[in-house]
Every structure is written in C-alpha cells, then in structure tokens.
Amino acid sequence: MRNENFGVFDRRFEFIIPVVTQYKFISNCIALGLSNYGPSISGLASSLSGTSSALGSTGEDAKAIEKTTFDIKLEKFDVVAMIKIIKEVRPFTDLGLKEAKELVEKIPVVLKSGVTKEVRNPIIKKLKELGATIVLE
C-alpha cells in the first residue's frame, strides 16, 4: 500500500536538509576547535608552543600551562616508620586500618589521585617528615 501524501510531506520539509547539513558542519568545526575567526585560543597556544621556543621566547607559554591536579605516589619509606605512615594515609584516603596497611605494603603505589595543590602540600609534608619518598605525577 502506497502513501499518497509522501510527496507532499517530502516537499514541505525539504528546507530542513540544508539546515541539518550546516548544523553538522558547524558541530564538526566546534569539535575541531575552529570558530569564525580561525583556530581557538587553546589550539593556537598548543600549535605556537613549538614555534615560540624556536624564536627564543622567555618561557611564558610554559608558565601559562600549569598542572592543577596531581597524583600522590608513595615510592618508598623507612620500615621503622611503617605504622606511622599507615596512620597518616588513613585520613586522606578514607580507608580502614587493614586496607591502608595493604595499600602501603604495595609500594610503589598511588595513594590519592586528582589532588589539588592546596590539599597535596600538607599530605606531602607529613609523609616526608616520617621518612617517605613521595612522587607527584
């Protein structure tokens, strides 16, 4: 059975095809980081970072890109201070005594990931005072 109104339906909505095509093009440009004025600022900064070093830049680009979150990794520690390190690891990892002990014994291990600068400094200071070697990733 053939629908007689299909031809009418097709003609009424044929203006949508160019709109949808243009929408897909714009969404692809946005995904690539392009705007009406060329590449976006973040894309421009990454593409210019290689050329600025060749031109003898003062390193302002390197200072502008600063890491905001860190992973605290326990590399090694004094065996004598193991109990104290476990006690320090428990509050900021929200682990029980057994879980914290198992975590510390698996060195090298990431104790906490996605930590901001304000949170990481006291943690690192406490663990280094106890004789632990900490690495930020």
> Residue 28 region, left (φ>0) first, then alpha (ψ -120 to 50), else beta?
alpha
Strand order in the sheet with 133-136: 109-116, 69-76, 133-136
pLDDT band, residue 99 (cuts 50/70/90): very high
* Interval 105-129: pLDDT, tens: 998 999 988 889 898 899 999 999 9
* Interval 23-48: pLDDT, tens: 666 666 666 665 555 555 545 444 44
- Coil, strand or helix at 54: helix
Distances (CA, A) of 73 to 14, 76, 84, 86: 59, 9, 17, 14
The answer as to whether 26 is a domain residue is yes
pLDDT band, residue 54 (cuts 50/70/90): very low
The answer as to whether 38 is a domain residue is yes
Separation of alpha carbons 135 and 70, rounded Å: 10
- Coil, strand or helix at 22: helix
Residue 16 has pLDDT above 60, yes or no: yes
Residue 91 has pLDDT above 50, yes or no: yes
What residues make up the domain containing 124?
69-136
Give how many domains the chain has, as a whole number. Answer: 2
pLDDT band, residue 55 (cuts 50/70/90): very low
